[in-house]
A and B are shown apart, each in its own frame.
Chain A
Amino acid sequence: MPIVSTRQLHRTYLQGEGEVHALDGVDLDIEPGEFVALMGASGSGKTTLLNLIGGLDRPTRGEVQVDGHALGALSSGALSRLRLDRIGFVFQAYNLIPVLSARENAEFVLLMRGVPADERRRRVDATLAAVGLEGLGDRLPSALSGGQQQRVAVARAIAGAPALVLADEPTANLDSRTGTELVEMMRRLNTEQGITFVFATHDTKVEERARRVIWMEDGKVQRDERRG
């Protein structure tokens, strides 16, 4: 069963007196364990699609299913719970909670879920090790480089063992080398842990490492390319 499924997904925004069709009938299935890059120019609908898959926004028309749940049927609270339990997010601007240390940021979702302390410690230790942040757990985000902050964001996204990680331009604020390292790391997590990643990106480094690239234009899927 697909982890993500969209059917005739439309999202229209009002702009002035006119309408902007950010998404215009997107049909898409993403299987568990995929490493997918949504590519396209700015305004092509990548981020809008990611927001709808993540339940951060509601479609104007159409349907999204994530992990077997039709998002349109979920209440706001249930949608929050789905995000907390099943979806990890990585944002372009890292968006860490500034008053929490790297470790606490990674632990945040687990704390909010009520995961017991021992289990939490085990998961966070493993996650910080997986993203190469051993020894940096006590640092506040302000004491970390951009690359390290984005690693913390990845750790936060995967620490709760989500069914799906949605990453919106995760390498956009990083230099080329750091960006490459980060993509490699997420690719490794995908391979080793089977976590499904869906990226919205312009970055060719991501595209090169993706096993599936979906090209978008004017809110539609132009090309869906699966790689070996």
Chain B
Amino acid sequence: MRSPSANPHAPTTPAVTSAGSAPLQAWLTLLGLALRNLRRNLRRTLITATAIGGGLGLVLVAVNMNEGTYKAMMDTAISAQAGHVVIQAAGYQADPDPLRLVAGARGVAETARAVYPEARVVQRSRIAGLLTSPANAVGAGLLAIEPSAERAVTDTHTKLSAGEWLADDDDRGVVLGEELARRLKVGVGDKVVLMAQGEAEVSSRLLRVRGLLRTGAVEIDAGLAVTTLACAQAFLERPDTANQISLHLPSAEGTGPMAASLAGSLARAELEVLDWEQALPEVVEFIRADRVNNAVTMGIIGIIVAIGVLNTVLMSVMERIREFGVMLALGLPPRQIAALIVLEGTLLGAGAAAAGLLLGVVLSWPLVTYGLDYSDMLGSESFETAGVVISSTLFATWDVGGMAGWTLAAWLMTILSTLWPAWTAARLSPVDAMRHV
């Protein structure tokens, strides 16, 4: 037998008794291989990426639309129903009895203006009673406002469909919702009588209809009547009182500490000072529940897409079993085979998530800028949801955090979808895998 000659390529390899850790170069090689594997069946890769990216894009549009709707609800509820910070008699939040009044309301309002000069401060009262006309009697909620001050914080006056808006000192005027007026069979200039619980007994007051309102929300138009704070004070025979003094600020952020600070400045134990989240628990709860509901729905859609991705990745793994067998035979450890598949999912997910984010931005932009007009579908210019009347033209809002979260979730979901196929490939025996047809 010929004696062996020296091998000119003398191996310079590490000891073989330890698995050691793969060099960075090996991981970069796997990364390059993963990219090429994605290009190998480009049509399948594009279809999978389209499913992920398209789904994500639509989810992002929904996220931005939902956030826009929530913002519209909060803005409207804050401006019309409460304020960013609300001062009211202690216990009014739990039991909104019209007779729980803030005494010395003007002084309280002045203090609030002094503490927060940037705030617009309005006083409001609410009276639940019966409006009667010669033709009918209808239950209604009377909102008593300072008409001129209220113009700066709500757009109720713009909903006037007939007649004129109220004057601050008009203690007999009332503006009725169109549907309420129709039920009472009254028009502008007609008289109605308000009957409600007074200080000791049921009181009544003659009011004259100054104008009609059309908000577009049937429930509101059928039950809303607006009068002046002066009228409410005269009816209750409680001058310089109001149920609420509300502060309207440039931003809804950080109102909790402001409420606490204002409570300290007022130093009146018989008053409670709430931020808007405390003052509007129904709206806050509705939005919170709706967010959870939407997240669950989108999550289910995500899981369905993930199962589709899992199927595709598993299919691509099954097609390459022989190839993985060869790699195992050449000396790739099983963890690198698994890593290759996870890397493919990582790259696919990153590309699809980026495309989905772009799609979401492109589709959301016109909805943020021009809004989406549902008025034809709803048959009115506004609609009521959770007791809040908002415009039928809904605007999306950029929910950067939500978009980032869902984009990341789509990416992670794609990566997670590859774990089982990767585990399957890593468990292959090289001999069996290379026999695979």
Contacts and interface: CB of A to CB of B under 8 A. Distances in A.
Interface in B269-327: 322-323, 326-327
Given A85-B13, A191-B5, A91 B331 contact: no
B332 A161 contact: no
Interface in A60-114: 67, 69, 74-78, 80-87, 89, 91, 95, 97-100, 108-109, 111-114
Majority secondary structure, B binding face: loop
Residue from B6, B7, B323, B431 whose CB has the most chain A CB atoms within 10 Å = B7
A190 B1 CA distance: 13
A212 B40 CA distance: 43
Interface in B389-437: 429-431, 434
Nearest to A122: B9
B107 interface: no
B25 A81 contact: no
Interface stretch (B29-37, B184-192, B354-362, B369-377): B29-37
A8 interface: no
B350 to A, nearest CB: 19
Interface residues of A, number: 53
Nearest to B6: A194
Nearest to A166: B329
B16 interface: yes
Nearest to A69: B16
Given A80-B333, A193-B8, 16 more contacts: A33-B5, A51-B431, A56-B431, A75-B19, A78-B18, A80-B331, A81-B18, A83-B330, A85-B11, A86-B11, A99-B40, A108-B29, A112-B331, A160-B11, A161-B11, A193-B9
Interface of B: 1-14, 16-20, 22-26, 29, 33, 36-37, 39-40, 322-323, 326-334, 336, 429-431, 434
The 8 closest A-B pairs by CB, nearest first: A33-B4, A84-B331, A77-B19, A114-B23, A161-B9, A99-B36, A85-B13, A83-B331
Interface of A: 31-34, 51, 54, 56-57, 67, 69, 74-78, 80-87, 89, 91, 95, 97-100, 108-109, 111-115, 123, 156, 158, 160-163, 191-196, 211-212, 226
